[in-house]
Chains A and B, each alone.
Chain A
């Protein structure tokens, strides 16, 4: 069932999908990967509003190195990952060491993402400021360039991002089954008790934060190379950070496919509203979008997929209870 669905998904673009639906599908998978990366730590009580910073580092560092130093994304990506690790450590270590949790942690990370956006805007001579930046094209006389990680074919991007998304789900599964996940749940509930039975709270939290940040950074690299355009508003700052959090929560951050479902729903909802309402009443589509997110979060705290799976589980339990009675 699971594998059949995957095969259908992998073959879908070959069945002559239009460019626009394929683009939407790619975006669902790409944001699904990013939301999954966020939820790996978000579900464990560490609600970061700073993931825009990691996404921004991934997107901008690779593009800037390519444009200004001619460094290939293949080298730029590890550099961006190292930089992300440093930033995640610098912000994470003091937070975890001094027990900054919950809302305070969210606020600290919120500041981080704004710093990232402001730095991008301020360095406008290098970054293009609010106007964004385009990687110098390597596609002038060919359809693709492996060295520059640029492909004009959406199909290639679909498969690259499909693999990244699957890797993200695999990592989620590994974390989910680990003692580390249980330990971090324990820490999120009773930090002092967790330390008293030998857990190194700071190290455990840092570990999962680094993992989540690095994955998000990689998502930023993919986003920039696929879109061939980066903009401070779309890859860093409060807006994108909130979008990541909302998406993951709406889909269901406690289940593996929840963040992906969240990405698909928020993306499609935004598109449908935009197409249905258009720009006749300026801002109406985004207002409705925001309202619907609020309603989802209030009435479905476990997210859409989380709520559905829970209902199915209950029905199955009721059935087996009826069968044994």
Chain B
């Protein structure tokens, strides 16, 4: 469904992403992991059109979308969330999501339809769809849900979930992971999931790609990646045993 090859982004003299290549199959959840500054978010920004690549191609559904503006990529069916939530703070929660439902489709639906769809999505993520509900009242977990709801409201085929779950407690993290799994299962949406904390991600993803210094250093099933010596060296370190245990638990 998505095929990235030779993708490179240079900022001045700094190469944030270098010759990345990977594929995403329809219906899978792909984990994109790596230490801070390894190029995960840049990769997302390139795919979603927030940044234009220096070089390389991004093919989505057979067409090259590299360098298209963000709004056109959204219309093609790729939605994203932001690592640090970026809600429209002075609008209601419902308006936040309804705007995505309205503008997220190249042919803008009728306004009532957009609002009806927004309510449906808000219900899915357990947020209030009451027009009086403001963004101000939301905590870290609520803002994450709003990011997700807004992305889903555009009706994506592919969801880029930039989920730094660091600010959440363990049960909230698991909830978020379960929600992504449910979205894939119920809506058939393909997901690329970026995460710093590997344990929770490993429970849900089908496949992982590990980035380091802007390059892909490993790729494979969670159990393979968790035992990859290179991944353990640059990234997992002393957490390796925990992550391996999570993956093993999942198998049983």
Contacts and interface: CB of A to CB of B under 8 A. Distances in A.
Interface of A: 179, 182-183, 185-186, 189-190, 192-201
Contacts of B153: 197
Contacts of A200: 69, 71
B74 interface: yes
Contacts of A183: 99, 102-103
Q: Which range contains the number of B residues in contact with the other chain?
A: 20 to 34
Given A182-B91, A182-B95, A192-B50, A197 B86 contact: no
Interface string B127-166: 0000000000000000000000011011000000000000
Nearest to B106: A198
Interface of B: 48-50, 69-71, 74-75, 79-80, 82, 86-91, 95-96, 98-100, 102-106, 108, 111, 114, 150-151, 153-154
A24 B111 CA distance: 42
B90 A185 contact: yes
Contact of A198 (B50, B88, B105): B105
Nearest to A190: B86
Contacts of A189: 88-91
A179 B111 contact: yes
Contact of B79 (A194, A197, A199): A197
Given A198-B71, A198-B100, 10 more contacts: A179-B108, A179-B114, A183-B99, A185-B90, A189-B91, A190-B87, A192-B82, A192-B86, A197-B79, A199-B99
Contact of A196 (B48, B91, B108): B48
A42 B153 CA distance: 29
B142 to A, nearest CB: 16
B90 A195 contact: no
A32 to B, nearest CB: 26
B103 A196 contact: no
Contact of B150 (A179, A182, A185, A197): A197
Contacts of A185: 88, 90-91
B101 to A, nearest CB: 9
15 contacts: A179-B99, A179-B103, A179-B108, A183-B102, A189-B89, A190-B88, A190-B89, A193-B150, A196-B70, A196-B80, A197-B74, A197-B104, A197-B153, A198-B100, A201-B71
A189 B98 CA distance: 16
Interface of A is mostly: helix
A185 B89 CA distance: 10
A179 B98 CA distance: 9
A180 to B, nearest CB: 10
Contacts of B108: 179
A291 B104 CA distance: 47
The 6 A-B pairs of least Cβ separation, nearest first, read A198-B74, A197-B100, A195-B70, A193-B86, A186-B88, A198-B103
Contacts of B88: 185-186, 189-190, 193-194
A186 B99 contact: yes
* Max count, chain A CB within 10 A of own CB: residue among B74, B99, B105, B111: B99
B91 A198 contact: no
Nearest to A97: B69
A182 B96 CA distance: 9
A285 to B, nearest CB: 38
Nearest to A200: B71
B17 to A, nearest CB: 18
Contacts of B150: 193, 197
A227 to B, nearest CB: 40
Contacts of B80: 196
A56 B48 CA distance: 42
A186 B90 CA distance: 8
A196 B151 CA distance: 8
A182 B131 CA distance: 14
A101 to B, nearest CB: 15
Contacts of B82: 192-193, 196
A183 B100 CA distance: 9
A50 B102 CA distance: 32
* Max count, chain B CB within 10 A of own CB: residue among A190, A194, A197: A197
A19 to B, nearest CB: 46
A289 B88 CA distance: 37
A190 B85 CA distance: 10
Nearest to B100: A197
A183 B95 CA distance: 9
A195 B69 contact: yes
Contacts of A197: 74, 79, 99-100, 103-104, 150-151, 153-154
